[in-house]
Structure 1
């Protein structure tokens, strides 16, 4: 550690680069032409194995990043990403090799040994998910709780059965599982109740049976607050992570996992994608599977998109009125009044706006267009009330009102 600080002092005229949070200093497989000495901030070192990000460690002020590749002249064996705003001094390979050549022979031999040792360890990195054991156990427990029979206080899990499930899925031993549940119990996220039993002891003289010494046969697991269990567990997991231990996170997630992380459902995420409310660079396709799907569906399938026809009972928001017939909309708009129609138009998407204007007279359409344009941001409460009233009126006209 001290050598890094000395190096920074001796070469403080070197080029200093800055990286914002999330910026990548280098990626796995890139040429190893420079190394970085961190002056400010923190950097994560990771590898991607089977679509999973395996965090190998973190580096802070005074520490080097990327020195392995420079010493061996091999492509980067890992990637580095700034965890916060970071300043780092850039040292090229000539400077590093010059310093090594000037160092004593034993230091050179020791450096070579350490390089070989690190290469061996790096090759053994896997995507085993136990690096984030606490959160993995919590997620599996939450899934088991959802599928457990019963409701309310009658709902419970067998600790023995849950442990068996965790061993199969998370690949942990019983000691690790016990440690996680001990922490959960201390945080009052779960309650553990002993289930005791005893073996019958037969009296050889009287021929009667008496209960023997009691022992803990199993434990009953209950979630204190199932609705907030996972969100609290995620916050706890961030606090207990050890930067020195490898951690595993998915580099990519599917749409279902995205919805769970956002506390939503796949149906809503699909709608937000269709309305272009979510940036397209967040979603990717598996190339081989995508090509197979395109070939299976045929080119014509992708030349046009038809929005599924909504029933009146399925209407939820203003943009859904594109599926409503014109006669019903004209009657609903007439009862709503031009101001509320303008509010509806201000919050509607392009297709819904065209539908609104199409079902108004030219005079009213001009007034509604002008008033809607003046509403840069309609009041949220008023907009919600107007949206609900419009949908309710449409359903009433269709005979669906309760």
Structure 2
């Protein structure tokens, strides 16, 4: 089953917004057995949009649209599909009731153009928009399937999960066995190194299939299989997980799609452990990632963003001789990383103290190159660990990978203790 995604909006062509919908839809469609062969971006122009639809009809079984279904005159997605399929447009009563209620409840006059958001294509299935006003639409015509969704991700994602997936299974994937997947999450290793360790499994894969995906500081491996039941699928997925885990036990931190900070918060909360952090070049990213996880209050004592030497010295008691002077190692050094981790642990009376100090870039600092970072992990009653990182990339990449690196080292320590 081949699919094409058509993203509609001149703002996409101008680079004013990033097309994150295509990435999301491609991943989700692959997980249910629909392969995305093409992605198209077209502006708010009826003729060009109609041409894009005709081209997609010749090479895809399922055509998914994002955007172009709002209230303004340049929202033309449904108009173009109706014209190509020679179908009429009409107002969906349930969608219209929701729009009218929205304005009435807020005591705001509804302009006439908002009626456009309730328009659907004749013979199609209206798709409810739980987080917005513009109704989606799904239509089957001459063996082709068309799915229309709003552009904003906060509207598209819930609609895809709640409305589109069930429609696809009912109308498109009727003869297909369902696809089951397991997401294996890795840290402390890059995508190319991970792939090298799994290369023979990837090259010989048939069922289950293995697909690695990289993000900053982490790698995800999706293992997928088709099976008539979840229990049969899990037998195959679990067996493949065992093979992968045997090769990368020091990097596989979860068998579900969660970031490493989620695993750390869960482990530390269960073990009754606490931590505090001192961050320089990461500017609070470590603490931000941990506090994004519900329940982090039970394990995170707090921390300090010690960006300047003055704060490092006054609040965290880094010796002046480490920071200033001809023979000083400087703020970006293993000596300073060690003091920061130990001092923040003691200040917070925590089980662990984490520290990050480095040069995020883009230029040199203390005659040290961008990407040079030192991280330290102080543990109550144990020798402090210090690690030097050499990170390639821009300023944001250095910051994110540094934060992920210290979290990975902490996870390794927790695994040893568990």
Query: Does the alignment reach a TM-score above 0.5?
Result: no
* Higher-strand-fraction structure: 2
Structure in which a larger fraction of residues adopt helix: 1
TM-score relative to the length of structure 1: 0.29
Structure with larger RCO (C-alpha < 8 A, sep 6+): 1
Length-normalised TM-score, structure 2: 0.28
